[in-house]
Structure 1
Amino acid sequence: MKKLILIPFLLFTLLSMAACGGDNENPFTPEVPEQPGNGDKEEPDTPEPGENGRYLVLYSSRTSNTKRVAQLIQTTLDCDILEVEPETPYDDDYNGMLERAQKELADVRQGNYPPVKTSIENFDDYEMVLVGYPIWYGSMATPMQTFLHNYASKLAGKHIALFATSGSSGISSSVSEAHDLCPDAVFVEQTLLLTSSSLNQMESRVPAWLNEIGANKEAPDTPDASSLKVKITAGDHTITATMDDNAAGRDFLSRLPLEVTLEDYNNITEKIFYPNPKLDLEGVARGCTPSPGDITIYEPWGNVAIFCKSWSYSDDLIKIGHIDGNGIESLQVSSDIKVKIERQ
């Protein structure tokens, strides 16, 4: 008798459970455990430190040729050094590496940069960043292209010196790429290229190049006087700029502090003033295609012109510095501006 009563009860229970689960119910799926590190922000890398904190050697290297040059520079200057590494290491197989390099270079030309695992908080403490890389098919190796692309804003106003290794390719194309990647950086004109036929000369060529670009192990006797950084104060706003290391730039620095009125010229295209006497232009390269933030001299008039807008090339313009970061936005107004310019 008990069994007869139990059977209808079980049937009723099963029918009730079925009715509660309509067609729109999702099937049960177990929770997927979170992968370690998912969503975590990576800590910035810390460069290997040296005693001389004025310089940072930043390099990428696959076959260790560029690494050897970078390490020699680091030893010579006793400065900080950091390797830029791809997120996925390259194959040891040479042909496989070539195929990947060609694909990555093609991707970069389309604006798709292969990820790197190297990061850095800032470059504020460095006077100069020495950037080294191998040359692949005439171009800068893609890990360094990605890194410069990622950190272009933090490198604005920073002096950058380029060195590279290659089988036989020249460096000029990669220099143009660096300028495009970091348009607001200040590039040292002298570069260093060591090819397969000259790599064995690096013990002599590296020190000679460092001497040529003014990088040395000793700290300057008067660091404030040697700095190329200036600050420009207009009312409550202060922006910074980095002067070029040429005769005109040094002459400009020697006259600071200055209090001048920047006159608006050509509808916020330029802010100008007239130094008296005119700045020293001996040995300074002529010709410039100004972009926003460029500090220039217009040779026929002798005036300093800070460009707020891009302008066409002129043989009479001489670049002597650049406003750091987005500071030029403070000067992009239609009125004249009284400013104080002094060393930073």
Structure 2
Amino acid sequence: MKRLWFLSFLLSAALVCSSCGSDEPENPQPTPEQPENPGGADHPDPTDPTPGENGRYLVVFASRSGNTERVAQTIRATLGCDMLEVEPSEPYEEDYNATLERAQTELDGIAEGNFPAIRTVVEDFSKYDIVFVGFPIWYNRIATPMQTFLHRHADKLAGKRMALFATSGGSGISQSASDARTLCPDAQFTENLLLTSASGGQADARIAQWLERLGASREETPEAPAGTLSLKMTVGGQTITATMEDNAAARDLMSSLPLEVTLTDYNRTEKIFYPDPALDTEGVTRGCAPVPGDITIYAPWGNVAIFYKEWPQSGSLIKIGHIDGNGIDVLGAYSGDVHVRIENNE
């Protein structure tokens, strides 16, 4: 019955999905016969992603039947970004039942700390604003090659903004998202995207809407006009920029750079630190209703406050800048304190 169901699924998926709407069967595919413990010495050489014209994003994916790969290709075509396939050391069998058996064996091995061998290793993720991670869902879990990849690269992905996308015959993504957070506990996870056989015909539109919500686009961040004050912050291996106001307080902050500070979470709304000495606010216009990304000074206390949520109008706030693009999401993803380096963006 499983074989008949699978053949029926493939036929219906091929008819419904034109480019990337079909999804991998929720019942998995094979497992390396001898799972490898990533702590061992058998590590492949680093793999170079296929480059795109927009180097801000990386799409990394695992796919056996090609469904997840079609989604990855759509994301790459939309963003013009780099892409890399995670490949098992031992290719999966064509026989579906053998695939199911191997997948279950691999999942059992992972539960005991033994991850199947893969051929894909990335040296550095630092240049990427977002890493898109795609996989089929096998028995409600992340496909095993991708689990190995995330496990091996957890340290390099710490602080990195990650967006999960998955294909499935009908299973949800919640358990897989939990797997990813366990495998990469220090990464910053965004909204997930799940494409099932039922949503195949709407796949392209859903991918485009998802990327828009994430703030991901083909265009590079425009350079600030000449003479504009601009700073950059390094947060957990990621770099975000901010355009500063042309006022005395902003110029005073810029003159004190570079700074190494710890931003403390305040009121679950803003990240704050106290410059030493206090910034010059004499004669600077006060009063603003901060929106996410605004960099301000709270005049009574003298602290710098970077808002990641909206706040009502306050006559005690002085706006001195705004974080560019969706960079505030990087800071807002940290629920507690976070260490940052602030420098001139030259």
Residues 157 and 242 in structure 1, CA contact (< 8 A), matched pair in contact too: no
Q: What root-mean-square deviation, in Å, do the aligned CA atoms of Structure 1 and Structure 2 show? A: 4.0
Q: How does 1:105-124 map to 2 (within 5 A)?
A: 105-124=107-126
Residues 160 and 237 in structure 2, CA contact (< 8 A), matched pair in contact too: no
Q: Secondary structure at the match of 1:197?
A: helix
CA distance in 2, matches of 1:44, 1:215: 26
CA distance in 2, matches of 1:170, 1:253: 46
Q: CA deviation at 1:118?
A: 1.1
For 1:230, the aligned partner's letter is: M
Q: CA deviation at 1:185?
A: 1.4
1:193 equivalent in alignment to 2:194: yes
For 1:207, the aligned partner's letter is: A
Q: Secondary structure at the match of 2:132?
A: strand
- Greater relative contact order, per chain length (Cα 8 Å cut-off, separation 6+): 2
CA distance in 1, matches of 2:143, 2:42: 28
Q: How does 1:52-71 map to 2 (within 5 A)?
A: 52-71=54-73
Identity %: 48
Within the candidate set 132, 142, 146, 1:144 is matched to: 146
CA distance in 1, matches of 2:171, 2:149: 22
For 1:116, the aligned partner's letter is: I
User: TM-score, normalization: structure 2?
Assistant: 0.60
CA distance in 1, matches of 2:120, 2:224: 31
CA distance in 2, matches of 1:228, 1:94: 54
CA distance in 2, matches of 1:229, 1:77: 24
Structure 1 range deviating more: 119-128 or 96-105: 119-128
CA distance in 1, matches of 2:216, 2:173: 21
Q: Counterpart of 1:205?
A: 206
CA distance in 1, matches of 2:101, 2:342: 52
CA distance in 1, matches of 2:310, 2:104: 41
Q: CA deviation at 1:47?
A: 1.2
User: TM-score, normalization: structure 1?
Assistant: 0.60
Residues 242 and 321 in structure 1, CA contact (< 8 A), matched pair in contact too: no
1:220 equivalent in alignment to 2:221: yes
Within the candidate set 90, 93, 110, 1:91 is matched to: 93
1:320 equivalent in alignment to 2:332: yes
CA distance in 1, matches of 2:97, 2:115: 21
Tell me the matched-pair count: 243
Q: 1:156 to 1:261 in 2, by over 3 A?
A: closer
Residues 252 and 279 in structure 1, CA contact (< 8 A), matched pair in contact too: no
Residues 116 and 147 in structure 1, CA contact (< 8 A), matched pair in contact too: yes
Largest Rg, 1 or 2: 1
For 2:233, the aligned partner's letter is: V
Q: CA deviation at 1:322?
A: 5.1
Structure 1: runs of 5 or more not aligned: 1-38, 233-238, 244-248, 266-270, 285-318, 332-338
Residues 44 and 120 in structure 2, CA contact (< 8 A), matched pair in contact too: no
